[in-house]
Amino acid sequence: MQDIFVKDIARYEGQEVRLKGWVRNIRSSGKLLFIIFRDGSAEIQAVAFRGDLGDELFEEAKSLTLESSLILTGIPKKHQKIEGEYELSVTGISPLQIAEDYPISKKEHGPDFLLSNRHLWIRAPKQWAILRIRHTVYYAICEYLNDHGFFRFDSPILTPNACEGTTTLFDLEYFDEGMAYLSQSGQLYLETGIMSLGRVYDFGPVFRAERSKTRKHLTEFWMMDAEAAYVEHAENMAIQEGLIRFVIRTVLAKCDKELGILERDKDVLRAADVPFKRMTHYEAIEYLRERGSEIEHGSDLGAADEVLLTEGSPVPVFIEKWPKDIKAFYMKRDPEDDNLVLGDDLIAPEGFGEIIGGSQREDDYETLLGRMKAEKMDLEAYQWFLDLRKYGSVPHSGFGIGLERLITWMTGTHHIRETIPFPRMIYRIYP
């Protein structure tokens, strides 16, 4: 007998098959048993008759509880009422383990309870759908980069210096070498990689000791940093746009069922697969002030400003050319205005906020050194980074995508904590 996954059930109509999985739900009457059976790949309704199983096995099967593990044999048949769906007509049931009273039920649970039971909560349909979309987004990003000449270049997590400022660093004592820090972004290392491979990316966990308790911040999240030699500011944004639009199309093409479970409006996603808007930081402040915001020129955007910027429009918006004082030391000065840098933030629509931070990088040794001195950075720890401006410096650019921010938007999830298997936040490390 063939062992199969539920997702492949249609190919086996009328043939006896074996399925291995868990009980999502079960109900029985005198001579009928309905099991909603899931195996990770999908779920199916299994129907067992007392007459087919015999009294003893039927009684044993009735003792199955929610989330019990079991192996089923049966014959797939077209569902009588739902077009395209299948049912399993059960021929045999072997329970593996009868689950204790399952703590997560259909009734409403508070977020704290669910997060404390995250190791079980991930089995719930919505969490299952989000995790599958996470998988698809991850591979779509890799596919796009691979097709555009980027090589994977893994940056270290233990580092001697900060990438994104010192206020959100996790530090630890590193043997006799002094302090080490958990990476906030692999960017600086990727800048070394392009001088060897031309175009590179990394994809892994990064860490920020964020004191903010917002629905957009994790202390450990996944970042994809990409970096490319001889790419300047405008082309950098074009790559970001191409990549995000490819992710949207891939999610729509591959995750129809998952988006359905999440009740995500697919038309809203489809509408974002068009050329993105572009605004300078200056224009963005003007735009916000016209709409009642009290934000001043020269200041960073708050969460409310990000919402206002995309309100009523399904299209993501690039905010480019930022005041240098509110952006990182490595961003290249705008040749047209010395007070600005060639940085860009990509703001997702529907209030999902910033999903990408990117920039052209300062490639002039003296300019970069001057900026680092002005910020009182420890030059010795960054000597290797400065070296790149001495040995064949070239114009180059890159960007970083926050994977969970992007998934939050794709899935329409309210809080970022549901987009990663085990969220790490200022007030939570368990489980």
Q: Which does 217 bind (CB under 5 to 8 A by kind): ligand 4AD, Mg ion, none?
A: ligand 4AD
Retrieve residue 79's tokens.
């569902």
Q: Of residues 72, 400, 409, 418, which one binds ligand 4AD by CB under 6 A?
A: 400
- Whole-angstrom Cα distance, residue 114 to residue 119? 9
- Applying CB under 6 A, does 350 fall inside the site for ligand 4AD? no
351 binds ligand 4AD (CB under 6 A): no
- Minimum Å gap between C-beta 357 and Mg ion is 3
Q: What's the one-letter identity of residue 367?
A: T
- Strands 179-182 and 158-159, by their bridges, are antiparallel
424 DSSP 8-state letter: B
Taking contact as CB under 6 A, which single stretch among the options 52-60, 136-144, 350-358, 417-425 is the one that binds ligand 4AD? 350-358
**In the complex, what is the shortest distance from the CB of residue 355 to ligand 4AD, in angstroms, rounded to a whole number?**
5
Is 42 or 381 the residue whose CB approaches ligand 4AD more closely?
Answer: 381
User: Which residues, numbered 83-122, are part of the site for ligand 4AD (CB under 6 A)?
Assistant: none
| Contact region with ligand 4AD (CB under 6 A), list: 17-25, 46-54, 151-159, 215-223 | 215-223
Q: Are the C-beta atoms of residues 363 and 328 closer than 8 Å to each other?
A: no
DSSP state of 189: H
| CA atoms of 313 and 310, how far apart (whole Å) | 5
Q: Which two tokens stand for residue 331?
A: 């961003």
DSSP 41: S
User: What single-letter amino acid sits at 187?
Assistant: Q
Which positions from 161 through 200 interact with ligand 4AD, judged by CB under 6 A? 163-164, 185, 187
The smaller minimum CB distance to ligand 4AD, of residues 86 and 385, is found at: 385
Locate 206 and state its tokens: 């990064």
CA distance 24 to 21: 9
**Are 401 and 356 contacting, i.e. CB atoms less than 8 angstroms apart?**
yes
Q: How many CA atoms lie within 13 A of 84 on its CB side?
A: 2
Residue 354 touches ligand 4AD, criterion: CB under 6 A: yes
Measured from the CB atom, is 264 or 405 closer to ligand 4AD?
A: 405
Tokens of 14: 């009328």
- By CB under 6 A, is residue 232 in contact with ligand 4AD? no
Q: Does 349 sit near ligand 4AD (CB under 6 A)?
A: no
Write down the least CB distance from residue 224 to ligand 4AD, Å. Answer: 8
Tell me if 225 contacts ligand 4AD by CB under 6 A. yes
Total interface residues for ligand 4AD by CB under 6 A: 22
Note whether 134 binds ligand 4AD by CB under 6 A: no
Contacts of 320 (CB under 8 A, 6+ apart): 233, 237, 278, 279, 280, 281, 342, 343, 344
Residue 224's binding partner out of Mg ion, ligand 4AD, none, with CB under 5 to 8 Å set by partner kind? none
Closest contact distance (angstroms) between CB of 145 and ligand 4AD is 13
Nearer to ligand 4AD, 67 or 164 (CB): 164
User: With the C-alpha atoms ordered 314, 315, 316, 317, is the resulting torsion angle positive or negative?
Assistant: negative
Q: Which of 136, 89, 109, 349 is nearest to 257 (CA)?
A: 136
193 binds, among Mg ion, ligand 4AD, none (CB under 5 to 8 A by kind): none
Answer for the pair 48, 32: CB distance below 8 angstroms, yes or no: yes
395 contacts 194 by C-beta, under 8 angstroms: no
**Residue 217 lies near ligand 4AD (rule: CB under 6 A):** yes
Residue 423 as a binder of ligand 4AD (CB under 6 A): the answer is no
Per CB under 5 A, residues contacting Mg ion are 357
Answer yes or no whether residue 210 interacts with ligand 4AD by CB under 6 A: yes
The residues binding ligand 4AD (CB under 6 A) are: 163-164, 185, 187, 208, 210, 217-218, 221, 223, 225, 354-358, 398-400, 402, 404-405
